[in-house]
Amino acid sequence: MIDYLIPWIAPAAAAVIVILIIACGYVKAPPDQAYIISGLKKESKVLIGRAGIRIPFLERMDKLYLGQMTVDIKTEQSVPTNDFINVNVDAVAKVRISLSSEGIKLASKNFLNKQPADITRDLQDSLQGNMREIIGTLSLKEINTDRDSFSDQVMSKASKDMDKLGIEILSCNIQNVTDENGLIKDLGADNTSKIKKDAAIAKAQADRDIAIAQAEADKASNDARVLAQTEIAQKNNELAIRKAELQKESDTKKAEADAAYEIQRQEQEKTIQTATVNAQIAKAEREAELRKQEVAIQQQALEAEINKKADADRYAVEQKAAAELAKRQREAEARKYEMEMEAEALKAQAEKEAEALKAKAEASRYAAEQEAAGVRARSEAEAAGIQAKGTAEAATIQAKLLAEAEGMEKKAEAYAKYNNAAVIEMMVNIMPQMAAEIAKPLSAIDKVNIYGGGEGAGGVSQVSGSGATVMQQVFDTMSEATGVDFREILKAQTFDAKVTRNINVTGIERKGQDVTGEDGV
């Protein structure tokens, strides 16, 4: 097994070494820096914003800053200009390392692994020297008045030296220019005086031109105003004449229109007055007719209300009386039924008692006969005595039973005859209550209006007699419903009926009697 793995150990070790070399030598350069890998090859490998492999122990990696750098360029000592004036200049330059392969190669020889501050410090001397050379070729006025040209010349002069170092100048700006003797200020004052002089002359010339132009304008304006006023006066005159003509025509038309309007107005007023009178007449007629109709309606409403109330009251009284009558009829029938049932029950009870007594008598007689037969052997005399005694007792018991039976029959007959008396008693008992119930609707009436009235026409007497009339109608209704003539029953109990005894209690047909009446409230 070991012999089998020996051939694979060397390749595996080599693969592991390669992987470790790759892992340790993997580098990735940012966009603002250049990674320069050198060692194995004659030409160095440059990585900018990309990744690469560096073989450990055989290759090395150096860094070069590629970002923008600011170089402050100042003349530490006064520099004479072309017109021999000592000046001090302060400028700022923006530089960076050139991204071309030649620029990176030159910069890597001068600024490899340096910080941006170190690079700007190395470039500062060279740029200051170039700016001094350019200042010596220019006058003070050119430096102050044309700073763009000055900065361009500095960039052009310095670019030659910077190219040798692999540096690219992006911009150069002149910040400040001063001199030791204040000549720039005097030059400014002189320029200020000249500017003021030129401005004053220009202003005077402008004022003159303005005055001339104003005068010419005033003259032209005056001429135009006079001409315009003349034309306006002419136009106003023509306008006044035309207005007068138009006013005359207008007055004429207006007078004619006023006359026609007045005539028309009078005719319209006449028509309106006529229509108004007709309308008032028609309105008066309609109002009279309306009042007439209102009176008729009120009268009909009053009559309807009175009749309605009277009908309602009469109907209420009739309904209440009918209900009370029906109630009394049902109560009378119930009492009558109860009495008949009670009479039948008493009669049945009496019959049962009579039968029981008869059975008892027979039993006693049978017992006596048996007892007499039992003791007949002992003594005929005693038997005869006992027989006589039993016969007497049996006769007594029989007589008693017969008397009781006759009493029960009399009682049943009395109950049967008690029907009319019970009816009379009930009628007498309920008559006050019936009168009170019939009078209740009359007591509830607050106000009574009686229309009509004369001799024999009703009126107050009709109202006061309505109670008796209603009671009479109630008795008639009960007689027709039950078939019992309650009047004849009551008459049968009077003194005349008992004396003359000419009253048929079983029912007599009444002829020629009309007790119905009509009540009105």
Write out pLDDT tens, residues 435-478: 666 666 656 666 656 555 555 545 555 555 566 676 676 667 66
Q: With 50 as the cut, is the pLDDT of residue 337 above it?
A: yes
Q: With 80 as the cut, is the pLDDT of residue 308 above it?
A: no
CA distance 487 to 508: 10
Per-residue buried b or exposed e for 120-157, using 16+ beta carbons within 10 Å of the residue's own CB: beebeebbbebbbebbeebebebbbeebeebbebbbeb
Q: With 70 as the cut, is the pLDDT of residue 183 above it?
A: yes
Residue 194 tokens, joined: 């000249």
C-beta separation of 175 from 139 below 8 A: no
> What DSSP state is assigned to residue 172?
E
The SS3 assignment for 33 reads: strand
pLDDT at 513: 40
- Residues in Cβ contact with 317 at an 8 Å cutoff, skipping those fewer than 6 apart: 438, 441, 466, 470, 519
* Partners of residue 71 on adjacent β-strands: 93
pLDDT band at 372 (very low <50, low <70, confident <90, very high): low
> Phi/psi at 97 (nearest 5 deg)?
-75, 135
The pairing of beta strand 60-65 with beta strand 51-53? unpaired
pLDDT band at 69 (very low <50, low <70, confident <90, very high): very high
Rounded average pLDDT over 354-370: 73
The pairing of beta strand 51-53 with beta strand 26-28? antiparallel
| More confident call, 175 vs 491 | 175
CA distance 146 to 154: 13
C-beta separation of 312 from 465 below 8 A: no
Q: With 80 as the cut, is the pLDDT of residue 495 above it?
A: no
pLDDT band at 146 (very low <50, low <70, confident <90, very high): confident
pLDDT band at 231 (very low <50, low <70, confident <90, very high): confident
Q: With 80 as the cut, is the pLDDT of residue 247 above it?
A: yes
Under the phi-then-psi rule, with left for phi > 0, alpha for psi from -120 to 50, and beta for the rest, what region is 272?
alpha
CA torsion angle 489 495 501 504 (round to 10): -10
Tokens 């019970």 sit on residue: 422
- Residues in Cβ contact with 42 at an 8 Å cutoff, skipping those fewer than 6 apart: none
pLDDT at 92: 92
CA distance 268 to 248: 29
pTM for this predicted structure:
0.35
* Mean pLDDT for the chain overall: 75
Per-residue buried b or exposed e for 191-217, using 16+ beta carbons within 10 Å of the residue's own CB: eeeeeeeeeeeeeeeeeeeeeeeeeee
> What is the DSSP annotation of 355-415?
HHHHHHHHHHHHHHHHHHHHHTTT-HHHHHHHHHHHHHHHHHHHHHHHHHHHHHHHHHHHH
Order of strands, sheet of 45-47, starting from the edge strand that comes earlier in the sequence: 45-47, 33-38, 60-65
